[in-house]
Structure 1
C-alpha cells in the first residue's frame, strides 16, 4: 500500500526534476538568444507551415473572364475563387493575357496562380473597391478594399511569374498623396485635407470603434495593394508587382507567411515594398525591391491604435534579397507602438544612389514601442545616400511628434558587412538620456567613403569589433 508520505516524496522528486529541466531549457534558450541568435532564426523557419493545395484547377476564363485589358472581370474572379474554395480548394488559374478587375478577395485553400505572361490590371475606379476592415498607416479603419484582400483566411497563396499591375501614376491614385512630385496642385483634394488623414488619427486616439471609422469615397486614403488580414499559413511567390496606389505587401495580424522570389517595382508615394504589421513568423526571401519608399518596413501600429492592439511584430526574417531605390533597405517603424523584436536580415545586397539608408529604426515619444534583438549579417552595400545604420528616437515627418511614450531601442548587431560608399555617417544613433540607444555591435564591418564615422547622442555600449571605417579601425564606446 502506498502511503501519503511516499506520494508526497515522489511529488517533491518530480517537481525538483521538472525545475531542473526548466532551468536547463531556460539556460539553453538564453544561450541561443545571447550567443547565437541565428539558431533561433533557423528554428522559426522550420516552424513555419507550408501551404498545400488540391490539384483541381479553376480557369477564370471558364467563369466568364475576357483577356482584352478592357472588360471588367471582377465577377469572374469572384466566381472562380468561391467555387474553388467551396470544393475544397485548389488553383485559380489566370491564363496568359491582360485581365482588368476590381478588388480580388481570396478564400480559404485558394492559390491564385498567374501564368508567365498573365497580367492583372486593377481598375482605377475607386467604386470597384468596396469598404472593408483594413488599415492605413498603422491605424485600423473601414476603407477601400486593398486590390487583393484576404480576411481571416487560412492556406492561401498568390503564385506564378505573371504581373499584378496597380496602374497607379500621377493622374490617379498617387495624386491623392498631396505631393507635388506626384501630380498634386493646389485645389486638388488629397489625404492631407483636414477631414481625412488627421481625422482618422484623432478618431483612433479618442478610442472610437473601428466599425465607426468609415472612410472610402471622398476621403482620399489610398488602398494597399495586397493585404492579408488576420490570416495564417500564406504564400506569395514569384509574381511581379508594379505601380501600387500605396503600401504593396501588407501582412497584418498574420502569422506564418512566406514571401519568396517576388519582384516589386513601384516608385509612388508611400510605396513601401513589404510591411509586416502585428505579424509573426514572416519569411521574406529571394525578393527584389525597387520602391518609392522603404523597401521593407516592419510595422506595429500607430500611437494609441498600436497600443490598443498591442501585438508586437516578431520573428521577421529577410534572406537573399536585393534592395535598389528606397528610403531604407530594411526599416523598423515609424508605425511601431506595439513593438518589434527578433528581426533577422542576412545575405542581402543593397545598392543605389537613391537608397537613403541600409538599416533603419525610426520612432519617437508619440509612437513609443520597444524595438529589440535586430540581427544583420552578410550584407553587401554599394551606395547609400545618408548612412549605413540609423537608429532614431526623434523621427518627425508630420509636424510635432512628441508625447509621453519614450521608446526603447536595444540589441542591434551588424556582422560581416561591406559598404563601398557609406554616405554621411556610418552610424547615426540618437536616444533619450532616460532611454539611451543600447547595445549596438558592428563586427567585421568595412565602410568606405563615408563623411563621418558616426553621430551619437545618448548611446550606451556601442561595440566596434574588427571594424574599419575609411580604412581606420574604430574603437568601442562602452559607458
Structure 2
C-alpha cells in the first residue's frame, strides 16, 4: 500500500529540476493496472459532484425587469465632458420609483462620479457608450459601507455600487473606464508591482498606514461605523461592488483601468457574470472576486489583469471569522485568461471558507500568467476550502501550473490552521510551464484528497514540489510524455 504523502520525507517529494529518468518525481511508482477499480469509483464520484454544478446553474436566479426605458439624456446627461453624476442618479431613482426597468445610456462618452444602483434597475450601456469615471477622490465621498481586502469599513464609494438591493443589473456592449493610471489611483498602492514597475510617486501618500490600521481595527472588533477610511486613507475603491444584494447580473460590458478590484460582489446571493471583458493591468486589478457569496455563475468572460483573474474570497482574518460566511456554490465556465497572478484562484482572504466550486472549459495562457490554478492561505487567514472541481482546462504558457500555498504572505504565524480537502483536477493539459507543482500543506494539516486524473504536462522546465499531502491520487498523468503516478 502506498504511504500518504504526509508520511513521506521532504526529499522524496521535492524536485528542484528535471529528473534524469523521465521527469517524474523521485520515488514515484508506475501506474498499476489493479487500480482501474479506483479510477471508476473516482469517476463515479466526480459525475455526482458535477451533477451538483448543473443544479447550481439551474437554481441561480437572474433578474427580470419591466419593459420600460429611462434614457439618461432625458435627465440632463450630456456627452460633452461635464460631470453627469446627478443625471444618472435622477434616472436611476425615477426608474426604481416607477417599478423598475432599464436606465439606458446611449452612444457617446459620459463623465460621471460613482453610480449607485437601486432595486429593479438595469443600467444598460449601448454599444459605443463609454462611462468615464472621475479621478477626483472627493467625488467618491461621503463614505459608504464597503469591504476592502476582506475587511469591512466606511470608505470611498465603489465606482458602481449597490447596497442591500435586489434584482439589479449592469448590462450592454458599452465600456466602463475608471481612468486609473500611473498618475491617478494606482500610485496609492506604493512600492513596486508587476515587472518591477514602481507605482510610488514623490509626495504621494500610499495606502500602507491605513491598511495596517484597518487590520488593527478588525482584530480589535471595532464597530464598522467607527472604521472611517475616507479622505487621506488612500484605500482605492473597487470598480463594481454589489454588497448584500440578491439576484444580480453583470453582462457583456467591458471594464478597464480600474483603481482596484474590478468586480467584487460581497455577501450576495444569485450572481451571474456573463460575457464580461475585464482588462486592467494596474496593481491589485483582480478581475472577478466573489466574496462570501452563494450561487454564483461566471461564464464566457475574458480576463487580462494585473492580479488574479478570478479569486474566490470570504473575508480576512478576524473580520472573516466574525461574519463566518463562506463562498459556496460557484460555477466558472468557458472563460479565457491571459495576464494575471493566477487564472482561477481561491484566497487569500478566505477566513470564512469556500466550498462547492466548479471550473470547466477554461483556457489560460500568457508569459505573464504566474499561476494557473491557485489556492492561497496561511495560519493567520485559516478557513476550510473543500469540494473544488476542475475539468477540461487548457493551459498554454504559465509560470506554475498548480499552486496550493499554505505559506502566503504572513505564513505559518497564526493560530488558525487552514484546511484544504477534496480537490479534483480532471482533463487538464498544460503545454509550457516553468514549474508544474508548488503544493505544500502543513505537517499538522496535510492537503487531503488531491486527485489528478487525465492530466498532461507537455514541456515543463521544472517539476516542483508536492509536500504534506494525504490521499493524493494521480491517474493517467504524464509529464513530457512519460507516465507519472504514485
TM-score (norm 2): 0.89
- Structure 1 residues 400, 412: closer, same or farther in 2, change over 3 A? closer
Kindly state the Cα deviation for residue 251 of structure 1 after the two structures are TM-superposed: 0.5
Q: Which runs of 5+ in 1 are unaligned?
A: 1-30
Greater relative CO, 1 or 2 (CA 8 Å, sep 6+) = 2
- Structure 1 residues 465, 401: closer, same or farther in 2, change over 3 A? closer
Aligned-partner Cα distance in 2 for 1:394–1:158: 37
Kindly state the Cα deviation for residue 278 of structure 1 after the two structures are TM-superposed: 0.6
Give the alignment partner of residue 310 of structure 1, picking from 315, 324, 344: 324
- Structure 1 residues 255, 358: closer, same or farther in 2, change over 3 A? same
* Aligned match of 2:36: none
Aligned-partner Cα distance in 1 for 2:45–2:351: 24
* Aligned match of 1:402: 413
Give the alignment partner of residue 135 of structure 1, picking from 147, 152, 155: 147
Contact 1:141 1:210 in 2 (8 A): yes
- Secondary structure of the residue that 1:377 maps to in structure 2? strand
Give the alignment partner of residue 374 of structure 1, picking from 378, 384, 388: 388
Aligned-partner Cα distance in 1 for 2:46–2:57: 19
**Which is further off, 183-192 or 168-177?**
183-192
Give the alignment partner of residue 189 of structure 1, picking from 187, 199, 205: 205
Contact 2:189 2:199 in 1 (8 A): no
Kindly state the Cα deviation for residue 429 of structure 1 after the two structures are TM-superposed: 1.0
- Structure 1 residues 129, 264: closer, same or farther in 2, change over 3 A? same
- Secondary structure of the residue that 2:408 maps to in structure 1? coil
Aligned-partner Cα distance in 1 for 2:191–2:238: 18
Alignment of 1:320-331 (within 5 A): 320-331=334-345
Larger Rg: 1
- Secondary structure of the residue that 2:395 maps to in structure 1? strand
Give the alignment partner of residue 135 of structure 2, picking from 121, 124, 128: 124
Alignment of 1:35-434 (within 5 A): 36-68=48-80, 70-130=81-141, 131-180=143-192, 181-192=197-208, 194=209, 196-385=210-399, 387-396=400-409, 402-424=413-435, 426-434=436-444
Q: Is it true that 1:438 corresponds to 2:451 in the alignment?
A: no
Kindly state the Cα deviation for residue 224 of structure 1 after the two structures are TM-superposed: 0.3
* Alignment: residue pair count: 440
Give the alignment partner of residue 466 of structure 2, picking from 441, 453, 456: 456
Superposed CA deviations along residues 226-253 of structure 1, whole A, max 9, x for unmatched, are 0000000110000000000001100100
Aligned-partner Cα distance in 2 for 1:35–1:261: 27
Superposed CA deviations along residues 310-362 of structure 1, whole A, max 9, x for unmatched, are 00001111000000000000000010001001110000000100001110000
Aligned-partner Cα distance in 2 for 1:258–1:436: 34
* Aligned match of 1:17: none
Aligned-partner Cα distance in 2 for 1:61–1:400: 53
Kindly state the Cα deviation for residue 115 of structure 1 after the two structures are TM-superposed: 0.6
Aligned-partner Cα distance in 1 for 2:326–2:254: 29
**Which is further off, 238-247 or 449-458?**
449-458
- Secondary structure of the residue that 2:265 maps to in structure 1? strand
- Secondary structure of the residue that 1:189 maps to in structure 2? coil
Aligned-partner Cα distance in 2 for 1:51–1:378: 30
- Secondary structure of the residue that 1:467 maps to in structure 2? strand
- Structure 1 residues 71, 33: closer, same or farther in 2, change over 3 A? farther
Aligned-partner Cα distance in 1 for 2:320–2:412: 15
* Aligned match of 1:9: none
Kindly state the Cα deviation for residue 185 of structure 1 after the two structures are TM-superposed: 3.4
TM-score (norm 1): 0.90
Q: Which runs of 5+ in 2 are unaligned?
A: 1-42
Contact 1:182 1:268 in 2 (8 A): no
* Aligned match of 2:19: none
- Structure 1 residues 431, 165: closer, same or farther in 2, change over 3 A? same
Aligned-partner Cα distance in 2 for 1:474–1:302: 37
Aligned-partner Cα distance in 1 for 2:452–2:319: 34
Contact 2:385 2:421 in 1 (8 A): yes
- Structure 1 residues 305, 32: closer, same or farther in 2, change over 3 A? farther
